[in-house]
Structure 1
Amino acid sequence: MSAARIPDLVVAHGFVVNAAGFGPAHVVVDRGRIVAVLDAAAPVPVAARVIDAAGRVVIPGGVDGHCHVAQITGRYRTLDDYATTSRAALWGGTTTIMDFGIPRDGTETPLAAALGKLELARQARCDVALHACVIDWDATTPDQLTELAELGIRSVKVYTTNRGTTMADDDTVLKVMREMVRLDGLTYVHAEHDAMIVDCTERHAAAGTIGIRHLHRTRPELAEEASVREVLAMAEYTGAAAYFVHQSTPGAVDLVRAARARGLDVHSETCPHYLALDEQVYSGEFPEWFACCPPMRSPETVAALRERFAAGAIDTIASDHSCYDLKQKRERRDDIRHMPHGLPGVETRMPVTFTALCDTLGAPWDPAVLRRFVDVFAAAPARINGLPGKGAVAVGYDADLVVFDPDHTRSVAATDLHMGTDFSPFDGRELRGWPEFVIARGRVVLDGNGFHDPGPTGQFVPRHGYRAAADAIGSVGRYSRAESPALAER
């Protein structure tokens, strides 16, 4: 920024929180980037617009590492598109989403699936990064993965269950891991033991207990943990970095934590619904609202998972956003084998997560709560996935910012949300942590006057390699006192 240029925006007098630093500060934004973070005792710089964030927290825009947009699985397609999902993400304080290029059937290659999503993402209002997905391996797969890596798509998802649709066999999982080592990539894993789930589901079908009210009994905790053990062994054998999506049990988290302690590059993700909901929802009035895999767990499991989450054993929180509506959900609620699984959640990830942390760790203004929240919501997803310019309020980073009042609460009303569906699994819940201002690459898209649709301005974010990312990104959110006294680690 030249001396004569007036910056585009200043977010003044906010309590700025990064994963490793916090303090009162002014954040100066110009041309879509953060150009200065000044101690709040300094005068507020002249700018084209000034947002007074006094009495509020300023954090980096959220990074949702696990979304499914316009996804086709079998005969079902989610009802959203990139315009809808990205607008909902911004409403919920998320400024970067990560989608999956999952082949719709055996005729679509991993490369074609990812390129198709890149084309659809041209309508995004927020930034977008992508994961690839491999279901069936053939001689062309290594070259496809090389081309994807050159495009900046540096992770591949594999499913260890869902036979007949998205499941990859053990040979394929192992080969994907070897390629990710070669390409400095990251293997994303949906880990559930398929043989256990198939057997358990068939037994319930034979007994006539196969409707949605029995979902949690057909996918036992042991199936998740058994699969995690097997995948960790393959990661250790190949030396691959692995990221386990939507972990729902403390046992699965503990397995990953123990593997990390002995030197493996492995990570745990969970989702807001596994922290806020338990299996009792399946005996309620609308059990179809909660059809997802893995299912909700027992109250005791949820309590233990929340303890792991608050203590730092889980790296990230992602929505696993899948936008079906109630007509689709209710069509085969009598048989979970034929109904679509997945929940809408990209817009509610922020308040559900923040509320769960406050309920577990303590007061909403506690710096430990705020820093932990920023880490799982933005910093760690950016760091692990090698997203340059994301996850910190720092000079040179993208001007993706969220301003919110930790004390403010609001009830979820599905009719007030923007995700393109007609329900929310959190409908009626009182939550804290709703964004008041959202800034995406320097554009104010949410303020007291409502939502300001920026149009298809979202950018595709090419990613660094997994191991190269630590050097490229640096120590996210850390400051020296000379650079920013207000934000020096305390």
Structure 2
Amino acid sequence: MSHQPDLVISNATVVNSDGRREAHIVVSEGRIAALVDAAQPVPTAGRTIDAMGKLVIPGGVDGHCHVAQVTGRFRTLDDYRTTSTAALWGGTTTIIDFGIPRDAQESPLAAVLHKKELATQSRCDVALHGAVISWDETVPWQLEQLAAEGVRSVKMYTTNRGTTMADGDTILKVMREMVRLDGLTYIHAEHDPIIADCTEQHAQDGRIGIEHLHRTRPELAEEISVKETLAMAEYTGAPVYFVHQSTPGAVDLVAQARDRGLDAYSETCPHYVTLDDSVYASTFPEWFACCPPMRSAETVAALKERLVSGAIHTMSSDHSCYDLSQKRERTDDVRAMPHGLPGVETRMPVTFTAMTSAGATVEQFVSAFSAEPARINAVPGKGRIAEGFDADLVIFDPAEERTVDGAALHMGTDFSPFDGTALTGWPDVVVSNGRVVLDRDGFHDPGATGRFIHRNGFREHQSTAAESHQPAGIF
């Protein structure tokens, strides 16, 4: 090295998804300049942090966040400064948000450009997904423009008629375009006719309050929607990624599709592998208003098994930052209340606790928390501690236990669904783009230094990543 590096993390147990080694991590100009064997002398640097006895993992990549999201008459209460700060507190150094049209007048391209402008206030790196609700002749051109902006995935909902739902014709046509543009189709899979009918039946019986949420959105609705969407993906040849899967049956359908040669991926969220539907009989059921809802204890256990087995590829927060006043406006009617949970800050300890308590290794945790979200979403330079990758690093003690205090978190809301829960695996030091943003002295606000990340083409990135562990398409 021709000049003194900015930072060295010495005596580190470096854990990637495919193994670990003892090394000194050398950081220069926001990148990992070298990994020096721990038996060698510690290189001189502007700052040295001793990680003896601790694990160092790649900074988290949260592939599913909703920031400043407008849905109907509700808007989440966060902004990019708030959410990115909370992400860093929780060991996540890259978030991927959604540009979802706020109403029928906003186009998919305009929605993304709006979010990209808001993201200039981010403290961590940001990428974006697009979203399409309805098809018209301008959509192919708009998707081309999104790809040129580095937005290489599009989300569509198979439910939520009247707001964000895309019909089957739209989904199939967008899939074709994403194949042409080497992109990835994101799907929120719940069968809308089943959900609409089930919800109406419950409403007629007077069982439509939050305590009945889990009964209005049955597991069958999720699994049928996954099956239908996989058929369209197989027909078009489109890579497809299913967000927040909550049932083992849905995960198994994706695994079977992969066995047939499809590029199909499963995501779940921390709450689906730790909380069950008994929460809707608790004192504060509104804390758990999300779609899909929590499932039975048996389903949760089976879903966790699939996470540990590797059938589930990624763990994302599905962060949606409403507060309790919004949640409590209409607890009498699940059709009228906002759904979504704050979770970007607690994703790391909840995931680590859930996975390791079920027998997973730290390497498997790193895979779901960082490596696979970066790989599948074609995010260059992320998800691995290796020379040339971004210096996004987390030092943590896997034995450190803390109890969640929702009021003390930083997500811009006044509750956490994990309030009062004892969790292990919290960040001790967080480095984002080579800057130490969190250590034992607290949070060091780096300012609006987060970068907008241009993502690679899906198959281009998978091919490059398969050939080498070098970063794919860093710039």
Asked if Structure 1 and Structure 2 have the same fold, meaning a TM-score greater than 0.5 normalized by the shorter chain, the answer is yes
- SS of equivalent residue, structure 2 residue 398: coil
1:10 positional shift: 0.5
Question: 1:200 aligns to what?
Answer: 198
- Aligned AA for 2:331? R
Question: 2:437 aligns to what?
Answer: 445
2:369 is the counterpart of 1:377: yes
In structure 2, C-alpha distance between the alignment counterparts of 1:302 and 1:20, rounded to whole Å: 27
In structure 2, C-alpha distance between the alignment counterparts of 1:216 and 1:476, rounded to whole Å: 44
In structure 1, C-alpha distance between the alignment counterparts of 2:163 and 2:85, rounded to whole Å: 30
1:473 positional shift: 3.6
2:121 is the counterpart of 1:129: no
Deviations 1:15-64 (A, max 9, x none): 10001120211100000000001111111100110110011000000000
- Seq. identity, %: 69
Question: 2:462 aligns to what?
Answer: 470
Deviations 1:127-156 (A, max 9, x none): 000000000110000000000001100000
Q: Which of 248, 254, 257 is the equivalent residue of 1:256?
A: 254
Question: 2:315 aligns to what?
Answer: 317
2:387–2:470 Cα contact (<8 Å) kept: no
1:475 positional shift: 5.7
In structure 2, C-alpha distance between the alignment counterparts of 1:280 and 1:14, rounded to whole Å: 41
- Aligned AA for 1:382? A
Question: 2:451 aligns to what?
Answer: 459
1:383–1:476 Cα contact (<8 Å) kept: no
2:65–2:318 Cα contact (<8 Å) kept: yes
Question: 1:426 aligns to what?
Answer: 418
- Aligned AA for 1:453? D
Deviations 1:41-100 (A, max 9, x none): 111100110110011000000000000000000000000000000000000000000000
Question: 2:158 aligns to what?
Answer: 160
Question: 2:398 aligns to what?
Answer: 406
- Aligned AA for 1:409? E
Q: 1:395 to 1:478 in 2, by over 3 A?
A: closer
Say which is worse superposed, 21-30 or 248-257, in terms of deviation: 21-30
Question: 1:287 aligns to what?
Answer: 285
Q: 1:431 to 1:167 in 2, by over 3 A?
A: same
In structure 2, C-alpha distance between the alignment counterparts of 1:472 and 1:6, rounded to whole Å: 31
1:386–1:473 Cα contact (<8 Å) kept: no
1:388–1:473 Cα contact (<8 Å) kept: no
Question: 1:274 aligns to what?
Answer: 272
Q: Which of 326, 329, 338 is the equivalent residue of 2:327?
A: 329
Q: Which of 393, 396, 414 is the equivalent residue of 2:388?
A: 396
Q: Which of 373, 376, 379 is the equivalent residue of 1:387?
A: 379
Question: 1:101 aligns to what?
Answer: 99
Deviations 1:274-315 (A, max 9, x none): 011000000000000000000000000000000000111000
Question: 1:486 aligns to what?
Answer: none
In structure 1, C-alpha distance between the alignment counterparts of 2:444 and 2:264, rounded to whole Å: 39
- Aligned AA for 1:441? N
Question: 2:186 aligns to what?
Answer: 188
Deviations 1:395-451 (A, max 9, x none): 000000000000110000011100000000000000001000000000000001000
- Aligned AA for 2:461? A
In structure 2, C-alpha distance between the alignment counterparts of 1:425 and 1:38, rounded to whole Å: 41
- SS of equivalent residue, structure 1 residue 273: helix
1:160–1:193 Cα contact (<8 Å) kept: yes
In structure 1, C-alpha distance between the alignment counterparts of 2:277 and 2:225, rounded to whole Å: 21
1:189–1:243 Cα contact (<8 Å) kept: yes
In structure 1, C-alpha distance between the alignment counterparts of 2:463 and 2:225, rounded to whole Å: 32
1:388 positional shift: 0.6
Deviations 1:243-277 (A, max 9, x none): 00000000000000000011000000000000110
2:55 is the counterpart of 1:57: yes
2:175 is the counterpart of 1:177: yes
1:14 positional shift: 1.3
In structure 1, C-alpha distance between the alignment counterparts of 2:12 and 2:336, rounded to whole Å: 49
In structure 2, C-alpha distance between the alignment counterparts of 1:196 and 1:471, rounded to whole Å: 39
Say which is worse superposed, 332-341 or 36-45, in terms of deviation: 36-45
Deviations 1:199-240 (A, max 9, x none): 000000000000000000000000000000000000000000
- SS of equivalent residue, structure 1 residue 28: strand
- Aligned AA for 2:435? R
In structure 1, C-alpha distance between the alignment counterparts of 2:96 and 2:194, rounded to whole Å: 30
TM-score computed with the length of structure 2 as normaliser: 0.98
In structure 1, C-alpha distance between the alignment counterparts of 2:8 and 2:184, rounded to whole Å: 37
In structure 1, C-alpha distance between the alignment counterparts of 2:445 and 2:6, rounded to whole Å: 18
- Aligned AA for 2:240? A
In structure 2, C-alpha distance between the alignment counterparts of 1:423 and 1:473, rounded to whole Å: 39
In structure 1, C-alpha distance between the alignment counterparts of 2:279 and 2:38, rounded to whole Å: 46
Question: 1:364 aligns to what?
Answer: none
In structure 2, C-alpha distance between the alignment counterparts of 1:434 and 1:370, rounded to whole Å: 13
In structure 1, C-alpha distance between the alignment counterparts of 2:120 and 2:464, rounded to whole Å: 26
Deviations 1:114-138 (A, max 9, x none): 0000000000000000000000110
1:393–1:477 Cα contact (<8 Å) kept: no
In structure 2, C-alpha distance between the alignment counterparts of 1:470 and 1:37, rounded to whole Å: 24
Q: 1:436 to 1:46 in 2, by over 3 A?
A: same
Deviations 1:435-471 (A, max 9, x none): 0000000000000100000000000000000000023
> What is the RMSD of the two structures over their aligned residues, measured on CA atoms?
1.1
- SS of equivalent residue, structure 1 residue 12: strand
